[in-house]
Amino acid sequence: AASDIAGPPAPNTDFSPKPADMDTVSIVKSPVVLRGIIGSRNPGQRGSLLGGYGGSGITEGAVMRALRWLKKEQKPDGSWGNPSAMTALALLTYLAHGETPTSEEFGPTVEKAIKWLCDNQRPDGLFNQNDAHAYSQPICAYALCEAYALTKVPVIKTVAEKAIAVVLKGQHPSGGFDYGMKQTERDDTSVMGWCAQSLKAAHMAKIGNPEEVNKAIKLAVKGFKKNANPAGGFGYTGPQPSFLTAAGVLCMQLLGASKDIDVERGLAWCDQRFKFNWTTPGNDRPIYHWYYVTQAYFHTGGKRWSAWNAQFSVPLCKAQIVLKGAGVDGKDIGYWESPAKASEKDLVYSTTLCALMLQVYYRYLPTFKTPKEIDEVQTIGQDAGKVKVEVSI
């Protein structure tokens, strides 16, 4: 209900009801919320997590319109756009909202998306209709790990394990990843970002061999540090700082190295260069970079998050293109068209990333508030073994 949300609700904003517990022949009953970093994803019951971290009915109204737009845009076979990557991103957007196959409004949409991904996985763990650089592999693995975490459907676990196995096999000895999950000398921070998110999701959902996943997580931290600049910032394929700095910061946080000096240096770099301005974004892939910086600041908390949230949330909602009464149920729907139309021209892509930004308030618990019972102190060699950092996986 709107009364559960702190902050002013948007006019006529309604909230999706909580899904029923998963309990069918092929689905075992389990809690909707996984213990650990996953936050409160029960639609309609966000309460303090939405308002407490700066969200409101305005932000949730934009999310609901996006989910309803995606529902209308879904193909009959359950996919979206460039199938593998876009279907996984759309599924992640529903999962971030706590939607499962039992959800009242979006259940069939979620079920068809999961089924499409499962049906389109090859025996080698790769997915049909992959993109040129195989970004879809870690994105699909990410979505399927989260889908299993929220449903506990055994067949999803099987598909997720095969997907994450490809990611594990593609990790370099340096800890990084490259296009196509290939073993090369090239460590691509953009690819590494999705791989790191998939590894974290695998860890949370207990997908794959725990020792192998934990080893990959610790090694991935070294991979990001390899692309870190001592003066601040993370590079694309080396230490020359770039707008992928926020990706490096977020992934270090998610992988348990939030207190690492390169995270603070990266945040300071972002403070000077990241501004939210929809009409003059300042780089050629603004939504992609804002997706990372929003989460990085959220996991940092404090004044950094408060300042960014005040800067981005309402303007992002206002930038949504709203279609009155155009949903399949006659409700308002909405999408985002990136200001960088040449490089971010896929509407499913831009809409899912924008919606995920506005779901940050409840999608994950902030890493600085991760429950103690899941904290596991580890040490990772830093700066040629001269410094030790604490890592909570």
Scanning the structure block, which residue is given the tokens 């207990």?
206
Whether 27 shows a pLDDT value over 80: the answer reads no
Find the range with the poorest average confidence among 34-43, 210-219, 267-276. Answer: 34-43
Q: In the structure encoding, which two tokens stand for residue 169, read together? A: 């096999």
284-316 pLDDT, tens per residue?
999 999 999 999 999 999 999 999 999 999 999
Measured between alpha carbons, how far is 16 from 98 in angstroms, rounded to an integer?
A: 10
Dihedral sign for Cα 344, 64, 203, 296, please. Answer: positive
pTM reported for the whole predicted model: 0.86
Higher pLDDT, 23 or 101: 101
Measured between alpha carbons, how far is 179 from 202 in angstroms, rounded to an integer?
A: 20
Scanning the structure block, which residue is given the tokens 């908390």?
301
Whether 65 shows a pLDDT value over 60: the answer reads yes
The dihedrals phi and psi of 94, each to the nearest 5 degrees, come to -70, -40
Question: At 3, is the pLDDT very low, low, confident or very high (cuts 50, 70, 90)?
Answer: very low
163-173 pLDDT, tens per residue?
999 999 999 99
Q: Are 354 and 313 in contact (CB under 8 A)?
A: no
**What's the pLDDT at 82?**
84
Please name which of 145, 91, 139 lies closest in space to residue 113, comparing C-alpha atoms. Answer: 91
| Residue 217 identity | I
Q: Are strands 333-335 and 321-323 parallel, antiparallel or unpaired?
A: antiparallel
User: For the chain, what is the HEC assignment?
Assistant: CHHHCCCCCCCCCCCCCCCCCCCCCCCCCCCCCCCCCECCCCCCCCCHHHHHCCCCHHHHHHHHHHHHHHHHHCCCCCCCCCHHHHHHHHHHHHHHCCCCCCCCCCHHHHHHHHHHHHHCECCCCCECCCCCCCCHHHHHHHHHHHHHHHHCCHHHHHHHHHHHHHHHHHCCCCCCCCHHHCCCCCCCHHHHHHHHHHHHHHHHHCCCCHHHHHHHHHHHHHHHHHCECCCCCEECCCCCECCCHHHHHHHHHHCCCCCCHHHHHHHHHHHHHCCCCCCCCCCCCHHHHHHHHHHHHHHHCHHHHHHHHHHHHHHHHHCCEEECCCCCCCCCEEECCCCCCCCCCCHHHHHHHHHHHHCHHHHECCHHHCCHHHCCEEEEEECCCCEEEEEEC
Distances in whole angstroms, Cα of residue 42 to Cα of each of 32, 55, 97, 142, 259: 8, 15, 7, 20, 30
**What's the pLDDT at 48?**
56
Question: At 15, is the pLDDT very low, low, confident or very high (cuts 50, 70, 90)?
Answer: low
Q: Are strands 387-392 and 333-335 parallel, antiparallel or unpaired?
A: unpaired
Buried-exposed string 364-393: b where 16+ CB fall within 10 A, e elsewhere: bbbbeebeeeeeeebebebeeeeeebebbb
Q: Are 197 and 150 in contact (CB under 8 A)?
A: no
Measured between alpha carbons, how far is 57 from 76 in angstroms, rounded to an integer?
A: 31
99-126 pLDDT, tens per residue?
999 999 999 999 999 999 999 999 999 9
| Residue 124 identity | D
Q: What is the mean pLDDT of the chain?
A: 86
Measured between alpha carbons, how far is 388 from 147 in angstroms, rounded to an integer?
A: 35
State mean pLDDT over 349-353: 98
CB 143: neighbour CB atoms within 10 A? 30
